[in-house]
């Protein structure tokens, strides 16, 4: 089972980067090359613990569907999305965040097993691992551009007095006052 590990340093506060990484809308914006779109579950906004989303995407010239669920959630330190149905035999995607003052170090660990036994392992060696690494690198490069520019404000809720903190549950993702500052 391949394990991909990526490290990205982003010139933005950890809370902003964490929330951008769990945004369905940012996922769509950073997956243009594969035409990913949500077709079930939570289809917009921020994902929290227990939330599921079904994605439709084009990889290797075919349209696939995959459902993942947020199975671990510790804002702003990390979260995990795990496949509950789809093309892989299994996957866990850990997103870990380390605050470096006004910068954030992101560690992505994508641990997956392809289906089809030996044939799947050969496919991993020849194409799947490289394809998934390039896909994740492209997404993080695009997310970094969003987080480091004013574009992030299109995806995250505006700070509202008395709104409270994001608690990780869908529908309760309004930012605390001053949360998303530059």
pTM for the full predicted model? 0.86
Q: Give the pLDDT of residue 60.
A: 87
Q: Give the pLDDT of residue 61.
A: 87
Q: What is the mean pLDDT of residues 31-58?
A: 96
Q: What is the mean pLDDT of residues 85-104?
A: 96
* Domains recognised in the chain with CATH numbers: 3-154 (3.30.530.20)
178, with CB counted inside 10 A (0-12, 13-18, 19+), is exposed
Is the predicted pLDDT of residue 35 greater than 60, yes or no? yes
Q: Give the pLDDT of residue 172.
A: 40
The neighbour count for residue 106, using CB atoms within 10 Å, is 23
Q: Supply φ then ψ for residue 132, to 5 degrees.
A: -65, -40
Q: What is the mean pLDDT of residues 32-44?
A: 96
Q: Which residues pair with 90 in a beta bridge?
A: 113
121-161 pLDDT, tens digit per residue, is 898 889 999 999 999 999 999 999 999 999 999 999 875 33
> Is the separation of the CB atoms in 105 and 97 below 8 Å?
yes
Q: Give the pLDDT of residue 168.
A: 53
Tell me the average pLDDT of the chain. 88
**CA quadruple 4, 98, 14, 161: dihedral sign:** positive
Q: Say how far apart CA 129 and CA 55 lie, in whole Å.
A: 20
Q: What is the mean pLDDT of residues 73-89?
A: 96
Is the predicted pLDDT of residue 72 greater than 80, yes or no? yes
Q: Say how far apart CA 161 and CA 34 lie, in whole Å.
A: 38
């Amino acid at each position: 089972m391949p394990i991909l590990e990526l490290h990205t340093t982003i010139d933005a506060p950890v809370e902003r980067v964490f929330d951008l990484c769990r945004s369905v809308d940012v996922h769509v914006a950073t997956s243009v090359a594969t035409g990913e779109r949500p077709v079930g579950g939570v289809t917009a906004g921020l994902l929290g613990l227990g939330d599921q989303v079904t994605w439709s995407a084009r990889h290797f010239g075919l349209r696939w569907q995959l459902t993942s669920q947020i199975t671990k959630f510790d804002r702003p330190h990390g979260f995990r999305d795990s496949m509950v149905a789809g093309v892989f035999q299994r996957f866990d995607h850990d997103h870990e965040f380390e605050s470096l003052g006004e910068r954030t170090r992101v560690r992505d660990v994508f641990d997956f097993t392809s289906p089809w036994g030996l044939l799947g392992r050969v496919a991993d060696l020849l194409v799947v691992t490289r394809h998934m690494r390039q896909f994740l690198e492209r997404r993080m490069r695009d997310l970094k551009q969003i987080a480091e520019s004013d574009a992030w404000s299109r995806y995250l809720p505006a700070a509202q007095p008395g709104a409270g903190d994001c608690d990780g549950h869908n529908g309760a993702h309004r930012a605390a006052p001053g949360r998303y500052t530059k």
